[in-house]
A and B are shown apart, each in its own frame.
Chain A
Amino acid sequence: MNWITNYVRPKIGSLFSRRDVPDNLWTKCDECGTMLFHRELAENLNVCTNCGHHMAISPRERFIALFDGGKFTEVKVPEPIADPLHFRDSKKYTDRLKDARKTSGEREAMLVAEGEIGKTPIVAAAQDFGFMAGSMGMYVGNAIVAAAERAVVLKRPLILFSAAGGARMQEGILSLMQMPRTTVAVEMLKEAGLPYIVVLTHPTTGGVTASYAMLGDVQIAEPNALICFAGPRVIEQTIREKLPEGFQRAEYLLDHGMLDRVTPRGKMREELVQILRMLLRQPAAPAEDLVNKVEVPAESDAK
């Protein structure tokens, strides 16, 4: 039997309490222009119910939908030295960080957690495009190293959701050094014989794509995600020609052999559980484990 026919949309209706998401708020889909109820959109994991367009989802929301019962424990990330270069452009880097913390309510651009998906214990890391464009600096590097170390200690697979405009320029060379640092993390997983699955989300670009985000055992992308090293604008300026439709989008990369799969967000969890259990040589998950029952509203049991 094809697993797709078994597919049941995750029921996470109780995921977001009315208090958090007032019903009178609407979001306009930037792809098809349809006005969408916030709550309806959240229930559909920020995927447009009309056209299927995948909008950004915060790591915390993603984890609540991903982990069994919405329960996960955050993995502590070692705090790097703040503003190592004393960087200032039109604004101080420390001020930009403060603003990003205030707007997002998060410490930095990556969240790491451990928990179970379909009763399969995992470690997961998710990059936050809402935090300074998800840019990779020392914190993100530390987060990936911490995630890999934790996975090795617990002998669990690591699932990483990438999203980044590239490197954190304000950390200069030290942001660039996260390319080898995170690659060391990937090597740790590899040597421990643990699966490392990358889910590339919109957008994943620059040094992030050219390091940990392209080194998964299995490479899955969300539909229409922009995935590239050099951005389309830079390329158009360099080669002085218009790029073809869909260039550097997930489906284009799939066609060019750079990805294993393109999977809609709503089917991602089920697919991850199945892939992981096969790679771990565990018995197939029963159908009821593939549906996430999230009872806890918005709050996670984060430490």
Chain B
Amino acid sequence: MTHYLEFEKPLAEIEGKAEELRAMARENNEMDVGKEAAALDRKASELLASLYQSLTPWRKCQVARHPERPHCKDYIEALFTEYTPLAGDRNFADDHAVMGGIARFNGRPVMVIGHEKGNDTKTRIERNFGMARPEGYRKAIRLMDMADRFGLPIISLVDTPGAYPGKGAEERGQSEAIARSTQKCLQVKVPVITVIIGEGGSGGAVAFATANRVLMLEHSIYSVISPEGCASILWKDSDKMREAAEALRLTAQDLTQLGVCDTVVAEPLGGAHRDPDAAIKSVGQTIAKILDGMAKTSPERLRDERREKFLAIGSKGLAA
């Protein structure tokens, strides 16, 4: 069962009709629905193309949060071999909202870290919907530090609504953990590549995304605050999330203009969830190309380049 987004309703109707026809034909051999079904398919793919040709920022938010969108775990399973999860922050707990470990990427050992949202009720609760607690950031710090000592490139996959706003998380130093994670990103002398695969939610994202190169999937988003949150604060009306999404410039396309996103990875027509394998594959190819490009950069240069890049961000506004 495909999960349709609100704006995909007309598409759901057409695809539903085509499916119904085919089901009827399966039960009744006499019926020939081939022609009609094909016409509906054509209509559906035309509609899909036109819907996705220019998604509004708010629609992009919905696509970025699509429950069937490939998540961190899917990328790790498909793009890496010998993935060896490393658990725990050595202080308090292991945070299941953050996956991480050593693995091989095209045969080359790397450290992979990312937020995992889960894909059904059980795993979503286990993963806390991808909202990390301090332990998650401290695990990431530990892994980044290890990667630095052993010269392993760091690949981070960002997909989080934000850091978890909970009592324990605050008591155990959520802000300090995020600050130290960002600081660690800026200290390491190995390549750091970030891919925003879905939602890049505020500080909880920055903690993993202070990278030499920031890649974004075509329909992913990256923002200082959720459009809903921004609407309720600035518009004093949480229903104004469309306006807020527009004003925040949170799409991969706008963020490229602002110099925050370095590379946009194209998604299959209708979003990554319509063809996860293809989406994951193009992310893999892009990472490979970027890693190769950084192979000859010295460790010191990798660190300095990262710092210079962030210091320069914003200096040109939308004309970057």
Residues of A within 8 A of B (CB): 80-81, 84-90, 138, 141, 145, 167, 169-177, 179-181, 183-184, 186-187, 206-207, 209-215, 227-230, 234-235, 238-239, 241, 243, 247-248, 256-258
Given contacts A187-B307, A230-B165, A235-B166, contact A89 B175 (CB under 8 A): no
A210 B175 Cβ-Cβ under 8 A: yes
B224 A172 Cβ-Cβ under 8 A: yes
Residues of A with C-beta under 8 A to B186: 180, 183-184, 187
Can you list 18 A-B pairs with a CB-CB distance of less than 8 A? A80-B314, A87-B247, A89-B235, A89-B247, A90-B234, A171-B314, A172-B249, A173-B258, A174-B258, A179-B179, A183-B183, A187-B307, A206-B203, A207-B224, A211-B179, A229-B169, A230-B169, A241-B167
Residues of B within 8 A of A (CB): 163-167, 169-176, 178-180, 182-183, 185-187, 202-203, 206-207, 210, 222-225, 230, 233-236, 243-244, 247-250, 255, 258, 260, 307, 310-311, 313-318
Residues of B with C-beta under 8 A to A85: 247-249, 317-318
Which residue, of A138, A211, A248, has the highest number of chain B Cβ atoms within 10 A?
A211
Given A173-B224, A229-B169, A243-B167, list of 7 further CB < 8 A pairs?
A81-B317, A85-B247, A177-B206, A183-B183, A184-B311, A207-B206, A214-B180
CA distance A31 to B189 in the complex (A): 50
Residues of A with C-beta under 8 A to B236: 90
B175 A228 Cβ-Cβ under 8 A: yes
Please provide the 7 A-B residue pairs with the shortest distance between their CB atoms, ordered closest to farther: A230-B165, A84-B317, A209-B175, A89-B234, A229-B175, A210-B178, A176-B224
B203 A207 Cβ-Cβ under 8 A: yes
A173 B255 Cβ-Cβ under 8 A: yes
Contact with B315, one of A80, A171, A176 (Cβ below 8 angstroms): A80
CA distance A181 to B313 in the complex (A): 8
CA distance A171 to B248 in the complex (A): 8
CA distance A230 to B260 in the complex (A): 24
CA distance A81 to B257 in the complex (A): 14
A235 B258 Cβ-Cβ under 8 A: no
A169 B170 Cβ-Cβ under 8 A: no
